[in-house]
Amino acid sequence: MAKKMVLFSVIGTIVAMIFMASSIVYPHPMLLVLAMSIGQGIAIFALVLYLLAVALDLQSSGGVYIAGEETPAIEEPPPAGGSGTPST
């Protein structure tokens, strides 16, 4: 799911960049207005989609157990004979 979202985001950004670059190279009024409105809208949407994909990806991988980083188990002290604090 996250990969598909990233793919759509990339495609949207490429389309937006082509739109905006063409309005810079060939600044006709109509093209300028479309690039500044639709082009930038597509780019913003693509960025939001990508950030959402990253968030989903982080969420889905958040519970993964990573070996070697486990804290050592706290060993319980041996029960003292007749003295010491009672164990709870």
Partner 1 sequence: MFSIHTTEQLLKAIALACAFLSVLIGIWYIVRRPHLNRVTKSMLLLGLGAFPLIVSLTGNIASFEYTLSRPFCGSCHVMGPYLRDAEDPKSNSLAAMHSRNHKFGENSCYTCHADYEMFGAITTKQNGMKHLFKYVTEYASTGPDGEGGPPIHLYKPFRSAACMQCHSATAKTWVATHADSAEAIRSGEMNCIDCHNDIHPLALSRRPTAGKGAAP
80 binds partner 1 (CB under 8 A): no
Among the listed residues 24, 55, 80, 84, the single contact to partner 1 using CB under 8 A: 24
Cβ(5)–Cβ(50) under 8 Å? yes
**How many angstroms separate the CA atoms of 41 and 33, rounded?**
12
59 binds partner 1 (CB under 8 A): no
Cβ(42)–Cβ(9) under 8 Å? no
14 binds partner 1 (CB under 8 A): yes
**How many angstroms separate the CA atoms of 88 and 80, rounded?**
14
CB of 84 to partner 1, least distance (A): 49
Among the listed residues 1, 4, 23, 64, the single contact to partner 1 using CB under 8 A: 23
CB of 15 to partner 1, least distance (A): 10
Cβ(43)–Cβ(13) under 8 Å? yes
11 binds partner 1 (CB under 8 A): yes
